[in-house]
Structure 1
Amino acid sequence: MAYGSDLSQVHALLSGLLAKNQLLLKDPPPFVVAKAFSESSVDFELFFWVHTVRETYTAKSALIMEVTAAFNEAGIRIPFPQRDVHFFNEDTEGRTA
């Protein structure tokens, strides 16, 4: 999550999505943790279990789409790394501007 996001709101929203997803096992229960402070975000990790390895891909895909929709609806921004690139041109006397 972008710095400045309400982390309690993010945690609750993610936990709710895990709780209502029918593809996930309820025992052991799925859970969410705030994992790390990254360069441009606070990272969360979702833990869940499914019946078969094959279902992992379907469940993960569904969760990604559900999380994206829920964050958009709640006005929660997913950050992305940004870089500033500065270009310098040499003038006629060889100095940089």
Structure 2
Amino acid sequence: MGLLTCVAVGALGTGGAVIAAPFVLGAVGFTSVGIAAGSYAAGMMSTAAIANGGGVAAGSLVAILQSAGMAGLSTAATAGVAGTGGIVGGILGILI
């Protein structure tokens, strides 16, 4: 029964992470129209800009998250989110 529970919770984690990702991005301020003023994302962007002399570097975490917030997750990002969700779900399944 333990292996079945682990697999089931892992599968739920995989699907749940992919479904939740756009909502979480929006909730922290990475929206489809840009970074929301006063949000956690705005703070990240400010910190990144200060660290890079006034601009946000292409390929940085802020740039990647903003791209995902505006255009949705790429295939590679979806795979990464799904894999991470599955791993976390599998670990929770082991602990249950």
Q: TM-score, normalised by structure 2?
A: 0.31
Q: TM-score, normalised by structure 1?
A: 0.31
Q: Name the larger-Rg structure.
A: 1
Greater RCO structure (CA 8 Å; 6+ sep)? 2
